[in-house]
Structures are given as C-alpha cells and as structure tokens.
Amino acid sequence: MRILFWNTYQNPKINIYVVNLIQEYHIDILIMAEYDADEGELIKLLEEYNENFIKCSAIGCNRIHIWSNYSDIKAGEQDTYYSIQIIKEQFILCCVHLMSDLYGDRSDERADKIQQMMHAINIYEDKIGSKQTMIIGDFNETPYGKGCLSANAFHGLPVLNVKDKATRLWEISPIRQVPII
C-alpha cells in the first residue's frame, strides 16, 4: 500500500504534479490537505492516465481530500480536522490536518482533538479486530507537544530507545488505571 500525503497549500495548478507522482510512485491512496484546485480536472487527468481512483467519502472533513484505487474502502468517523477510513476491513487510515498556531497557541485544542481522534481509532480497532492503524497528515504539532507526548493522546516517548517494561499504566481518574501496550 503506497500512500501520498501532500498539503497543497491551495495551489490551483497542483493536479498535473499529483498525477505524475501517482504514476511514478504507483500510489494507491492520495490524501491532500488544503486542496483548492479543480477537482474535475484532477478526475479527467486520472482517467486520461488510466488511474482508477475514486474519491473517498469524507463528509464533514473539508480540510482533507482522499482518493483511492481500492474499491473496498469505507468512511469511518469524520471530523473537521480528521477523516478515518477503513480499508479492506483490515486497516484503519486516519488522515489529519490539525489546527496551526499561526494566530496564537492552539496546543490545548490540538491535544483535545488528538485525544478525541485516538478514542475513535481505538473503537474502530476493537470493532474490526485489527491494530493495523496508520495516522498520516499535517499535525501542526511539535514532537514534544502535548498532543504527541500525553498518555491520553499519541502517547509518544521522547527517547530513541526504550528499555522499559512492555506496558505502562497511566491514570484516567483517581479510581481506575488502564494498561497501555
């Protein structure tokens, strides 16, 4: 499975470049953030170059546009800032374009949105019985930001090698603890 993500930054002339990349790198899934080019032109170009891509349903997430050559892909939870897609009832793809700090610190909002997204992903992982999840996109988050390191968000560890136990416990409430694998 080859995935191309590109924040096109509202470039109206991006379509021919996108189609060339799809052909050159045999892309299966195309994800674009801030896509503002002519969608009809993109579809025509894909057809001209015999690329059988269909637009995936991402209703409610206008920040992300997804095309795929897989026929067995269906929409999961959709939000303004992310789109979850289920591929072949086996893989979970979460496409992200989170808010930036361009007009002020929005790190708390990002952390909240990441928590919401991870909760939804966990539900889909349980539902389809798979932990094969890919989260891809424009996170607008630093590697040491709350959304990356918080245990109830991405739960990243700021070290290269971890020689720790296979699991850790983190407290959700004063009463209950949940194992993190």
DSSP output for 67-129: EES-SSEEEEEE-SSEEEEEETTTEEEEEEEPPPSTTS--HHHHHHHHHHHHHHHHHHHHHHT
Tokens of 128: 């389809």
Which range is least confidently modeled, 59-63, 77-81, 135-139, 153-157?
A: 153-157
Q: Is the pLDDT confidence value at 114 over 90? A: yes
| Buried-exposed string 48-86: b where 16+ CB fall within 10 A, e elsewhere | eeebebeebebeebebbbbbbbbeebebbbbbebbbbbb
Q: Is the pLDDT confidence value at 53 over 50? A: yes
Average pLDDT over residues 59-67: 92
Q: Is the pLDDT confidence value at 176 over 60? A: no
Q: What does the CA dihedral 53, 118, 8, 20 come to, rounded to 10 degrees?
A: -30
Class of domain 3-156: alpha beta
Q: Give the Cα separation of 51 and 29 in Å (integer).
A: 11
3-state secondary structure of 42: helix
Q: Is the pLDDT confidence value at 171 over 70? A: no
Question: Which pLDDT band holds residue 163 (cuts at 50, 70, 90)?
Answer: low
Task: Please tell me the total number of residues recorded for the chain in this structure.
Answer: 181
Mean per-residue pLDDT of the chain: 88
The whole-number pLDDT of residue 147 equals: 83
Q: Give the Cα separation of 110 and 146 in Å (integer).
A: 8
Question: Which pLDDT band holds residue 169 (cuts at 50, 70, 90)?
Answer: low
Average pLDDT over residues 128-137: 94
